[in-house]
């Protein structure tokens, strides 16, 4: 007889073992290690919730403190490798295999461990791709997640930083897995139910509130004239020309400068209401002046941002909020929104090669992908037209009947030609290729593939790659905006001038922008304190951004 319920029985066994450490569903932080040792089995697939913002850090510490004799060879399937404990477990043998997306702060250590063979790497994913695999071939046996509060039934309030939690719980709870949530507080009644209690098996009362990284705060005081110039070019040369209303921004200073230029430079160009009205974006503090000036109609968020909660509560017409008033974010839905419902993604990168492939991997850092390659790609499943999408599609050359054309999503790389310490952004060959070779990866970790990139904006100008008709034109267009890097100085000047005559390469002066007008005075806010003023005192910046 076929046994159709073996997973369910195993799940019941795990829960029964865990109950011995719990009072109902509730487990004190001091018993967290015992709980994990009771529930986990060698070789389990485990999602330890590490998003790019909030961290199930109490459970991460507990997992790292487990006895490797009892808990070992786990297969970690989690979006963020952010805390030291996320990698400690690979050193002790508690974990062996890893599938993940993002490893910002641990990028250097993960690279060393990959080279040293301490981690058996499955693949580096985009968020949406990893979430998809949770439902197909990487379904967790056990999920360790983080919430703000829970009642004794396990009803969970995830608060403004809901992020990945609903997705992780959905995949685990409905496929015979066990869900353990750490919460900052056990309460009689949660402010709103983000995850119903019957999907949560155990609630650990954490020893301290979960950690959240303020990843999306950019201090206007650090913005340079060059970034202001590039923001002017992007607004006038791309946002205005394509009439971009639905968009996503990366997290760099360049895009933050665009946000701060909307109510000043954008206003002067008469673009209010015509561009940048609907966003898939975290609540960037630098978007406050545009919101307050009436530019923004609505914003859906992947997560929240430290210090923005009060402001968001007072602007429910703009943000998605619960009946309790606080932000409801959801990374999977927002990534989907960024993929299918936005006409533009614009972000920065560390290296771009001569065809336009880009990567944030350098030889000693593997930062992972996060969401950029998802939002920074042209979705072939899209069917609804928009003027922006159709215009870009026409520029990419229509062949055959126009009724059968696809539009194109605009994918813009906004980069300064030199990065920190005069490291050139433009290169012959991506470091990602060397890393792939050294670590035996089949694919080089490319952030955005060349065939998805439509424009490159640098301080020297805009290259429109949609209009390039062959590989040589493409290379010269890229060289033509690569400034004084070796790639830039290696340009064929005559060919670049020809591309300029055809509008494929455009200089600031071709756009009617005088580089000397690129002044910090154009920034709607010049400091974090200005942002607080714009918000009417509702934005409460974290201590590290307070210098007054």
Q: Are 68 and 40 in contact (CB under 8 A)?
A: no
Q: How far is the CB of 63 from another protein (least distance, A)?
A: 42
Can you give the C-alpha Rg of the chain in angstroms? 24
- Residue 463 backbone phi and psi in degrees, to 5: -105, 120
Q: How far is the CB of 482 from another protein (least distance, A)?
A: 11
Q: How far is the CB of 225 from another protein (least distance, A)?
A: 6
Measured from the CB atom, the residue of 381 and 512 that comes closer to another protein is 512
**292: nearest Cα among 537, 522, 545:** 537
Ranges assigned E (strand) in 252-378:
278-280, 298-300, 344-347, 351-352, 358-359
Measured from the CB atom, the residue of 229 and 524 that comes closer to another protein is 229
CA gap 150, 148 in Å, rounded: 7
Measured from the CB atom, the residue of 111 and 257 that comes closer to another protein is 257
Q: Are 107 and 368 in contact (CB under 8 A)?
A: yes
Measured from the CB atom, the residue of 168 and 482 that comes closer to another protein is 482
Measured from the CB atom, the residue of 108 and 419 that comes closer to another protein is 419
Measured from the CB atom, the residue of 418 and 539 that comes closer to another protein is 418
Q: How far is the CB of 510 from another protein (least distance, A)?
A: 14
Q: How far is the CB of 513 from another protein (least distance, A)?
A: 13
Measured from the CB atom, the residue of 13 and 514 that comes closer to another protein is 514
Q: Which tokens sit at 264?
A: 């000043």
Q: Which tokens sit at 116?
A: 């040293």
Q: How far is the CB of 367 from another protein (least distance, A)?
A: 22
Q: How far is the CB of 496 from another protein (least distance, A)?
A: 13
Contacts of 400 (CB under 8 A, 6+ apart): none
Q: Are 453 and 414 in contact (CB under 8 A)?
A: no
Measured from the CB atom, the residue of 104 and 515 that comes closer to another protein is 515
Q: How far is the CB of 96 from another protein (least distance, A)?
A: 44
Please give the full DSSP string across 348-394, using - where no structure is assigned: --SEE-TTS-EE--BTTB--B-BTHHHHTS--TT-----HHHHHHHH
C-alpha separations of 309 from 187, 315, 510 in Å:
21, 10, 42
**179: nearest Cα among 333, 49, 37, 328:** 49
Measured from the CB atom, the residue of 253 and 539 that comes closer to another protein is 253
Measured from the CB atom, the residue of 312 and 427 that comes closer to another protein is 427
**If phi over 0 gives left and psi between -120 and 50 gives alpha, with beta otherwise, what is residue 43?**
left
CA gap 289, 497 in Å, rounded: 39
C-alpha separations of 526 from 33, 308, 539 in Å:
47, 18, 15
Q: β-strands 461-464, 505-506: how paired?
A: antiparallel
Measured from the CB atom, the residue of 393 and 483 that comes closer to another protein is 483
Q: How far is the CB of 459 from another protein (least distance, A)?
A: 4
Measured from the CB atom, the residue of 166 and 483 that comes closer to another protein is 483
Q: How far is the CB of 428 from another protein (least distance, A)?
A: 17
Q: How far is the CB of 468 from another protein (least distance, A)?
A: 24
Q: Which tokens sit at 466?
A: 């949609």
Q: How far is the CB of 346 from another protein (least distance, A)?
A: 19
- The span from the first CA to the last CA of the chain, in angstroms, equals 73
Residue that has been written with the tokens 């402001």 in this structure: 311
Residue that has been written with the tokens 């696809």 in this structure: 406
Strand partners, 124: 100
Measured from the CB atom, the residue of 516 and 543 that comes closer to another protein is 516
C-alpha separations of 386 from 80, 344, 351, 475 in Å:
34, 12, 31, 29
Cα torsion at 262, 265, 270, 274 (round to 10°)?
Answer: -30
Residues of this chain that interact with another protein (CB under 8 A) are 224-226, 229, 416-418, 422, 459-460, 483-484, 489, 515-516, 518
Q: How far is the CB of 222 from another protein (least distance, A)?
A: 11
């Amino acid at each position: 007889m076929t046994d159709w319920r073996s997973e369910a029985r195993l799940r019941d066994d795990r829960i029964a073992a865990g109950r011995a450490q719990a009072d109902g569903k509730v487990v004190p932080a001091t018993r967290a290690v015992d709980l994990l040792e009771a529930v986990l089995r060698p070789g389990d697939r485990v999602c330890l919730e590490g998003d790019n913002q909030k961290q199930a850090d109490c459970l991460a510490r507990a997992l790292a403190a487990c006895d490797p004799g009892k808990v070992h060879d786990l297969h970690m399937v989690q979006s963020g490798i952010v805390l030291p404990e996320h990698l400690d477990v690979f050193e002790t043998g508690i974990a062996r295999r890893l599938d993940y997306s993002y490893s910002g702060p641990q990028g250097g250590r993960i690279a060393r461990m990959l080279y040293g063979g301490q981690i058996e790497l499955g693949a580096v994913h985009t968020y949406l791709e990893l979430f998809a695999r949770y439902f197909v071939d990487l379904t967790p046996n056990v999920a360790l997640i983080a919430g703000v509060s829970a009642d004794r039934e396990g009803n969970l309030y995830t608060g403004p930083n809901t992020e990945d939690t609903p997705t992780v719980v959905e995949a685990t709870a409905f496929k015979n897995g066990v869900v353990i949530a750490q919460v900052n507080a056990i309460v009689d009644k949660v402010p709103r139910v983000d995850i119903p209690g019957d999907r949560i098996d155990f609630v650990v009362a954490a020893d301290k509130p979960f950690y959240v990284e303020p990843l999306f705060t950019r201090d206007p005081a650090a913005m340079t004239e060059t970034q202001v110039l590039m923001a002017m070019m992007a607004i006038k040369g791309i946002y205005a020309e394509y009439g971009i209303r639905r968009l996503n921004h990366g997290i760099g200073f360049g895009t933050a400068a665009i946000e701060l230029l909307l109510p000043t430079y954008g206003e002067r160009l008469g673009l209010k209401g015509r561009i940048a009205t609907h966003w898939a974006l975290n609540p960037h503090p630098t978007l406050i002046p545009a919101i307050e000036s009436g530019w923004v109609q609505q914003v859906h968020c992947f997560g929240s941002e430290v210090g923005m909660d009060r402001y968001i509560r007072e602007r429910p017409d703009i943000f998605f909020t619960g009946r309790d008033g606080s932000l409801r974010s959801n990374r999977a839905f927002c990534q989907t929104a960024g993929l299918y419902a936005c006409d533009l993604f614009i972000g920065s990168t560390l290296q771009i090669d001569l065809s336009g492939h880009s990567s944030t991997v350098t030889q000693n850092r593997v930062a992972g992908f996060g969401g950029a390659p998802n939002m920074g790609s042209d979705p072939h499943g899209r069917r609804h037209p928009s003027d922006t999408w159709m215009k870009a599609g026409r520029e990419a050359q229509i062949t055959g009947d126009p009724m059968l054309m696809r539009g194109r999503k605009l994918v813009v790389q906004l980069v300064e030609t030199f990065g920190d310490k005069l490291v050139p952004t433009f290169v012959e060959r991506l470091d990602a290729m060397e890393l792939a070779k050294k670590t035996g990866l089949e694919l080089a970790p490319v952030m955005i593939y060349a065939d998805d990139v439509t424009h490159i904006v640098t301080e020297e100008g805009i290259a429109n790659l949609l209009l390039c008709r062959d590989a040589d034109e493409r290379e010269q267009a890229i060289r033509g905006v690569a400034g004084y890097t070796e790639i830039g100085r290696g340009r064929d000047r005559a060919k670049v001038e020809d591309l300029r005559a055809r509008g494929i390469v455009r200089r600031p002066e071709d756009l009617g922008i005088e580089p000397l007008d690129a002044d910090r005075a154009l920034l709607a806010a010049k400091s974090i304190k200005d942002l607080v003023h714009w918000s009417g005192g509702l934005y409460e910046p974290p201590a590290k951004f307070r210098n007054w």
